[in-house]
Amino acid sequence: MITAALSIWAADEFTGAALQEVVRDVTRPEGEQVTSFEAASQILADGGGATDIDYQGVSGPIDLDENGDPKGFLQILEVQDHDYVGTGFIES
């Protein structure tokens, strides 16, 4: 959800074509690593663009291939006693 919201903001429009252009950029390792919407949106608010962000999701790094599919792994988390606990990984 956060990746989608950042992509809409960075694209400055809500169209499929615009989002296709920037969705991979907000998660590329070349940008500044951030782990929250607030940190990423501050980069955009300060005049940065999609390529200045490397959004890392709660479940781990989010890197998308040329088709927009996640590559690498996703960490499986469960909420236990009001905290996230890693329980495994899904590799693609």
**Extents of the domains making up the chain:** 2-91
Report long-range pairs for 34-38 (Cβ below 8 Å, ≥24 apart): 36/2, 37/2, 37/5, 37/6
31: number of CA atoms within 13 Å, CB side? 25
Give the predicted TM-score (pTM) of the model: 0.67
Task: Round to whole Å and give the CA distance between 67 and 85.
Answer: 31
- Residue range 7-17, pLDDT digits in tens: 999 998 889 88
Arithmetic mean of pLDDT over the chain: 86
- 92 pLDDT more than 70: no
Smallest CA-to-CA distance from 44 within 17, 12, 68, 14 is with: 12
- Residue range 41-85, pLDDT digits in tens: 999 999 999 999 999 877 667 777 777 777 766 778 899 999 999
